[in-house]
Amino acid sequence: MVSSATQIAESIIASAARITKSVSARALIVYLDAVPDIEKLRNAVKKPTEILFIARDAKDMARAKEHSLKYLEVPPFNLTRMGQIKMATILAFSQRMLEGGDVFVFVTGVVGQPVDSLVVMQVGQEYELFQSVDQPKLTEHVRRVVFQRVLNLMLELANEGREGKPIGALFVIGAYREVKQYCQQNIINPFRGYTEKERNILDESMRETVKEFCSIDGAFVLKGTGVIMSAGTTLRPTLPGEDLPQGLGARHAAAAAITATTRSIALTVSESTGAVRVWRRGRLITEIEKAIHAPVEAPDSKLVQAD
């Protein structure tokens, strides 16, 4: 008799707990809504392995706080299995919950369904996952909460689109005194004249404002503290980035080049696929893909510039 999806999920979670010991994993990463019995899992996973739970909504976060769990908050978007892993891992890496060389076990599946997959990986050894072991920590010149807010916003842009179509975008965050030397304003800067508090990406009211300004051709440039310095900005860095993967165009070339030239991080959304990419020191360090049949929400944003 074929096992039910719930039985399969329970077996996968139990197997993951055993595997963490055999591979000396730094962490077991699992979506909180996939764990029916938290205490059973806690008892099965032995130190020094830590359990890192992924919370997708308010219900998950309330449950995590109730049980005093260590957790990461991720947006509830329809990502591929590998996209889910990358999203959680880059956030864990930015918060120093994972380090270069760490082995971790990840339990995943289709969003909204019981888990069906178990993956064992080592940070930095899987090019498909995350290439940043030889780089400074992501938050060296960028506040952790700012990086997370921009990453979440980019995923919103990728998933919601504009009038049913994916949009493109480029955000550059970091050492603004360096970045501004390579900036040329295409239009009157819409953020000029406002206080830094009024134009900080951490202000919840800025989310919709930023989406509206995605109709402007060019990049958003932010300080590492989250203050938006400009939109509709052309980047003219002096150093080229590394060779781009085939099929990536001007936006991605600009992201690679500005991060090669300055102490900054760039995030891009591909107009053609909706993939979100993170760039550092001239390199693509991770790519988060949408699921093929991701649902399209109400339109909020427009095209920034062609890929």
90 vs 278: CA distance, rounded Å: 10
> How high is the pLDDT of residue 283?
86
Residue 49: burial class (beta carbons within 10 Å; 0-12, 13-18, 19+) = buried
150 vs 94: CA distance, rounded Å: 13
Residue linked to tokens 């860095």: 237
Q: Specify the amino acid at residue 98.
A: L
Q: Which of 117-126, 128-137, 280-289 has the highest mean pLDDT?
A: 280-289
13 vs 274: CA distance, rounded Å: 31
**Bigger pLDDT: 52 vs 161:** 52
What is the distance, to the nearest Å, from the Cα of residue 238 to the centroid of all Cα atoms in its chain?
A: 27
**Tens-digit pLDDT profile for residues 155-187:** 888 877 666 666 889 999 999 999 999 999 989
> How high is the pLDDT of residue 307?
39
244 vs 262: CA distance, rounded Å: 18
**CATH number for region 144-288:** 3.40.1700.10
Sequence spans of domains, the chain: 5-122, 144-288
**Bigger pLDDT: 129 vs 235:** 235
> How high is the pLDDT of residue 302?
34
Indicate the fold that domain 5-122 takes in CATH.
Pyruvate Kinase; Chain: A, domain 1 (3.40.1380)
Average pLDDT of 211-217? 85
**pTM for the predicted model, two decimal places:** 0.75
What does DSSP assign to residue 21? Answer: H
Under the banding of pLDDT at 50, 70 and 90, the label for residue 130 is: very low
Instruction: Give yes or no for a contact between 105 and 27, defined as CB atoms under 8 angstroms apart.
Output: yes
CA distances to 101, 157, 161, 218 from 305, rounded to whole Å, are: 37, 14, 14, 6
Q: Specify the amino acid at residue 6.
A: T
What does DSSP assign to residue 294? Answer: P
Q: How many Cα atoms within 13 Å fall on the side-chain side of residue 241?
A: 27
